[in-house]
Structure 1
Amino acid sequence: MDLPRSFVIREGDLRILNPIDAPKLATLGRAVKLRPGSSLLDLCSGKGELLCTWARDHGVVGTGVDLSTAFTAAARERAAELGVADQVRFVHADAAAYVCDEPVDVAACVGATWIGGGVPGTLEILERSLRPGGMLLVGEPYWRIDPPDQETVEGCHATTREDFHDLPGLVRLFQDEGWDLVEMVLADQDSWDRYAAAHWLNLRRWLDTNPDDELAPQLRRELTEDPLRHVRHRREHLGWGVFALLRR
């Protein structure tokens, strides 16, 4: 049980595996008013930057769950680096099936609502581990601009327009599922650029040193196609944000 090796290559030495930078991640931690001792569950925790930096900056405790052995190992290293290994732990497991032994104050899934087949299913998964009155954090794309054609839809890693909502539609979806939106931190175009372009550099450096690897043709094709896809489609049309929710 693991993510494909291409994920590890693409993310390289990135610590945040979403189009949100360290200042915005810190802003989110302050905005939701984390308190020392608050308990967090982070599903699809990646390399653990959310949990580790919030443990350092706000004194929270918690668990991160991810399918990638490489990302889980990197998260544990980051916890040790920041001196918070006694506050957080990272588990290699299927996030979709994970439930905490004790309900948590905050349950997060930032940028991986595929674990629940979309936003509604992911909200249900997160709520299994949430204490009454606790907060959910959900990271999700949305249409900044309505895509004009199917090429743009597919250029934004979607199959149909209905795969994503526009921002008002996403807020309505949260409300229809019984949640109040109480905070949000949105990526901007620079956030997308930094995240996307970091992938290109990671891919190029890997290709330069691994030209005969079995993955080289696939990743060479990705490096050729993705920059144009980003500037033509994703950068203009696709937004992304983290949304804080309280059960109505």
Structure 2
Amino acid sequence: MDIPRIFNISESAHRIHNPFTADKFATLGAALRLEPETRVLDLGSGSGEMLCTWARDYRINGTGIDMSQLFTKQAKLRAEELGVADQVEFIHDDAAGYVADEKAGVAACVGATWIGGGVAGTIELLAQSLHPGGIILIGEPYWLRSPPTEEIAKGCGAGAISDFLTLPELVASFDGLDYDVVEMVLANQDGWDRYEAAKWLTMRRWLETNPDDDFVKDVRARLTSEPKRYAAYTREYLGWGVFALMAR
């Protein structure tokens, strides 16, 4: 069980596998007014930066689930590095359909809503692990402006324009699911640049140290195309944010 190899390679040096930066996660934690010993479940936890830093800064407890063997290993190392290994645990597993045995005060899926077949399904999944009155966190892309063509949408990594909503439409969609939006923190352009551009040096270094690997052609093709694609499409059209929700 693992994610596609290209992500394990291109994001192997990332601590955060989305357009957030460390200060954005700190802002989000403060905005949620996290109390010590709050239990946080993170589905698609990546390298564990959100749970580990919140455990250090706000003394929460938590569990992260991720399909990447590499990222799960990195999360465990990060917990040890920050001295919070007794507060958080990271499990290598498929987050799709995962329901915690112990209810959480915060249940999050920050950038992996495919685990529930989209936003609505992921909210429904997270709700099964949440205390009454708890908070659900959804990290999701949105259109900064609607792409004029399907080709541009695909250049942004979407299958179609309809895959994402504009920010007003996304916020309104939570209302339609009978949830209150109680907080939101949005990524900025620097966060996008750091998330995307950091992959390029990682891929170049990998190519230099693995010249005989069978995957060289794939990584070379990705490194050649990604800077141009990102500059032309994602950087111009796609936003990203984390939305805090409470059921009505």
Counterpart of 1:121 in structure 2 is 121
- SS in structure 2 of the partner of residue 91 of structure 1: strand
Shift of 1:4: 2.4
Shift of 1:214: 1.1
User: What amino acid does structure 1 have at the position aligned with 2:43?
Assistant: L
Counterpart of 1:91 in structure 2 is 91
Counterpart of 1:238 in structure 2 is 238
Counterpart of 1:3 in structure 2 is 3
Shift of 1:226: 0.9
Counterpart of 1:76 in structure 2 is 76
Moved over 3 A (4+): none
Shift of 1:97: 2.0
Q: Mean Cα displacement is larger for which, 209-218 or 76-85?
A: 209-218
Counterpart of 2:185 in structure 1 is 185
CA contact (8 A) 2:97 2:116 kept: no
* Count of aligned pairs: 248
Q: Mean Cα displacement is larger for which, 105-114 or 150-159?
A: 150-159
Give TM-score, length-normalised by structure 2.
0.98
Shift of 1:145: 1.1
1:35 pairs with 2:35? yes
- SS in structure 2 of the partner of residue 137 of structure 1: strand
Residues 199-239 of structure 1, C-alpha deviations (whole Å, 9 max, x = no match): 11111111111122111111111111111111111001000
User: What amino acid does structure 1 have at the position aligned with 2:21?
Assistant: D
Aligned mates of 1:243, 1:183 — CA distance in 2: 6
Aligned mates of 2:164, 2:61 — CA distance in 1: 32
User: What amino acid does structure 2 have at the position aligned with 1:175?
Assistant: D
- Which 5+ residue runs of structure 1 have no aligned equivalent? none
User: What amino acid does structure 1 have at the position aligned with 2:80?
Assistant: A
- SS in structure 1 of the partner of residue 240 of structure 2: strand
Aligned mates of 2:52, 2:194 — CA distance in 1: 21
- SS in structure 2 of the partner of residue 131 of structure 1: strand
- SS in structure 2 of the partner of residue 212 of structure 1: coil
1:169 pairs with 2:169? yes
Counterpart of 1:134 in structure 2 is 134
Aligned mates of 1:49, 1:168 — CA distance in 2: 29
RMSD value over aligned CA atoms? 0.8
- SS in structure 2 of the partner of residue 63 of structure 1: strand
Shift of 1:5: 2.3
Shift of 1:7: 1.4
- SS in structure 2 of the partner of residue 17 of structure 1: coil
Aligned mates of 2:101, 2:243 — CA distance in 1: 25
User: 1:97-108 residue pairs with structure 2 within 5 A?
Assistant: 97-108=97-108
Aligned mates of 1:176, 1:201 — CA distance in 2: 42
Shift of 1:106: 0.1
Aligned mates of 2:11, 2:160 — CA distance in 1: 26
1:58 pairs with 2:35? no
- Which 5+ residue runs of structure 2 have no aligned equivalent? none
1:222 pairs with 2:194? no
Shift of 1:148: 1.4
- SS in structure 1 of the partner of residue 96 of structure 2: helix
Q: Mean Cα displacement is larger for which, 188-197 or 52-61?
A: 188-197
Counterpart of 1:151 in structure 2 is 151
Shift of 1:150: 1.9
